[in-house]
């Protein structure tokens, strides 16, 4: 499943680049080399991480980054943007073809930025535009002070309904620590206490009572598919805009693993995503939308975004072109199949899984059965060469910092070529480490939520086993930095 490339050509490109960088700041060149070594030598199971192809990575290191290009294709506020126009149009065209979308906006710098663009576009289309029409104005600058203050109050009185954080939702879906929680009055829907699954009847009841402007679907730690056709029915019933954040599972949508009711693009008014994670592109964001929101979405810069990054938009175009190839569908299906194998391997060895399994690319472990917090489990696994991240589980008694869960995912190791046998072995290694880990006493006398010990020999044994798996499935095979 690894991305094919010419190792000798890539080696020469990176050696030359690092030589140029090192001549100015050797610390940075060394850190770049060390990062490749670290990634090659660890079992990367962070669900939101992946490996971009050398073509994607090299595209970002170009003089396209030197150009200001506020505005949109053919309508820039700076001169001489013809090449940025070409880049942005290519990225948008690839995105529309890849996802079957009516409109694509590829300027957002991150998933949070994409969500901000989407939120403000929805507010502009559903709240601001009617207010301007009622006042006989074409632009907010045409409003008198009274109408402007009335519009500001209307904008600040809107509601958003999204999945709760402990059920697997994301901070950017209306929660107070994030700017989205300061924009909207927010409420949450959760999951069934017994199954951990979404209860659409409860979502519907909550939406009827709360009456949100925006119904947000999508997740960062929910290991199941979402029925977006049903979510659209709920949104239509209460007059809400359905916004789907598919940042985590965009690769499964692009790779046609999620189709029909489980593909958000035909059902949502607005879809946001990152372009890395399961899409294997550069770190960045994107908004897809139905035609009625296109003009508002395209005002993302300067509404909430700074100048678009031409080099990153170019890398998005390259990544989308890669994702349109038949082999990406094979990769995406392998990501989902491998997640099932990993989940089954963990469950068979006694690990409690939130929802009992997975239907996407991620698995959420409840590590409380090992007597551990998520932080202790994450740290012990990292010591052993297994990179994961702690994550809250539904109704988590340890809160969002220490947590009771660990989230793992299959996109990165699938990119390296891992299959069923390797992921079952990985499940075995995870259980070996967790079984051998014990919390240590806190200064107060009780059990610490952070400190731990791992039984003698387990860390070295696990690192050795991980090394065997990684050596058999090298990262960027043939790439030699010298």
Residues known to be catalytic = 68, 70, 245, 274, 277, 283
Cα–Cα distance, 65 to 84 (Å, whole number): 10
Say which residues have a Cβ less than 8 Å from residue 23's Cβ, sequence separation at least 6. Answer: none
Say which residues have a Cβ less than 8 Å from residue 84's Cβ, sequence separation at least 6. Answer: 64, 67, 69, 76, 308, 310, 313
Question: Do the bridges between strand 103-105 and strand 159-163 make them parallel or antiparallel, or are there none, so unpaired?
Answer: unpaired
Cβ neighbours, 10 Å, residue 431: 18
CA 361 to the chain's CA centroid: 11
Cα–Cα distance, 455 to 461 (Å, whole number): 11
Cα angle 472-477-482, degrees, rounded to a multiple of 5: 120
Residue ranges of the alpha helices (H) in 245-309?
250-254, 291-297, 300-303
Say which residues have a Cβ less than 8 Å from residue 453's Cβ, sequence separation at least 6. Answer: 437, 438, 440
Cα–Cα distance, 337 to 419 (Å, whole number): 9
Containing 29, the helix (H) or strand (E) segment is helix 26-40
Given a contact cutoff of 8 angstroms between Cβ atoms, the answer to whether 384 and 366 are in contact is no
Residue ranges of the alpha helices (H) in 219-373?
228-238, 250-254, 291-297, 300-303, 310-323, 326-348
């Amino acid at each position: 499943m690894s991305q094919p490339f010419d190792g000798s050509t890539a080696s020469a490109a990176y050696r030359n680049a690092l030589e140029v960088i090192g001549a100015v700041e050797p610390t940075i060149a060394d850190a770049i080399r060390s990062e490749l070594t670290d990634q090659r030598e660890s079992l990367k199971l962070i669900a939101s991480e992946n490996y971009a192809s050398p073509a994607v990575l090299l595209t970002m290191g170009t003089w396209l980054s030197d150009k200001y290009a506020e505005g949109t294709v053919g309508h820039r506020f700076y001169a001489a943007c013809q090449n940025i126009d070409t880049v942005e149009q290519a990225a948008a065209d690839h995105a529309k073809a890849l996802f079957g979308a009516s409109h694509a906006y590829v300027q957002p710098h991150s998933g949070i930025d994409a969500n901000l663009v989407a939120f403000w576009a929805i507010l502009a289309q559903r709240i601001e535009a009617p207010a301007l029409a009622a006042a006989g104005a074409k632009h907010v600058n045409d409003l008198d002070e009274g109408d402007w203050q009335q519009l500001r109050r209307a904008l600040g009185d809107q509601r958003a309904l999204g999945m709760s954080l402990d059920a697997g939702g994301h901070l950017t879906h209306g929660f107070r620590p994030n700017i989205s929680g300061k924009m909207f009055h927010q409420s949450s829907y959760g999951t069934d206490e017994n199954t951990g699954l979404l209860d659409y009847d409860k979502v519907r009841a909550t939406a009827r009572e709360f009456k949100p402007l925006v119904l947000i679907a999508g997740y960062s730690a929910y290991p199941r598919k979402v029925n977006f056709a049903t979510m659209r029915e709920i949104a239509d019933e209460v007059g809400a805009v359905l916004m789907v954040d598919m940042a985590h599972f965009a690769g499964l949508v692009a790779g046609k693993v999620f189709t029909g009711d489980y593909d958000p693009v035909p059902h949502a008014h607005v879809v946001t995503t990152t372009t890395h994670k399961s899409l294997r592109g550069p770190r960045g964001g994107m908004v897809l939308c139905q035609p009625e929101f296109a003009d508002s979405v395209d005002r993302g810069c300067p509404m909430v975004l700074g100048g678009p990054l031409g080099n990153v938009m170019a890398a998005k175009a390259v990544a989308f072109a890669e994702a349109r190839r038949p082999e990406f569908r094979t990769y995406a299906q392998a990501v989902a199949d491998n997640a099932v194998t990993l989940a089954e391997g963990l469950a068979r060895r006694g690990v409690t899984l939130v929802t009992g399994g997975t239907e996407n690319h991620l698995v959420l472990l409840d590590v409380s059965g090992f007597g551990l917090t998520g932080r202790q489990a994450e740290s012990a696994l990292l010591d052993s060469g297994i990179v994961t991240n702690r994550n809250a589980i539904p109704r988590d008694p340890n809160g969002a910092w220490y947590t009771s869960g660990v989230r793992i995912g299959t996109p990165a190791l699938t990119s390296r070529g891992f299959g069923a046998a390797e992921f079952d072995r990985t499940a075995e290694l995870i259980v070996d480490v967790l079984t051998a880990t014990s919390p240590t006493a806190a200064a107060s006398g009780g059990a610490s939520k952070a400190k731990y010990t791992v039984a003698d020999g387990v860390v070295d044994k696990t690192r050795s086993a991980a090394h065997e798996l990684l050596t058999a499935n090298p990262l960027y095979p043939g790439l030699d930095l010298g």
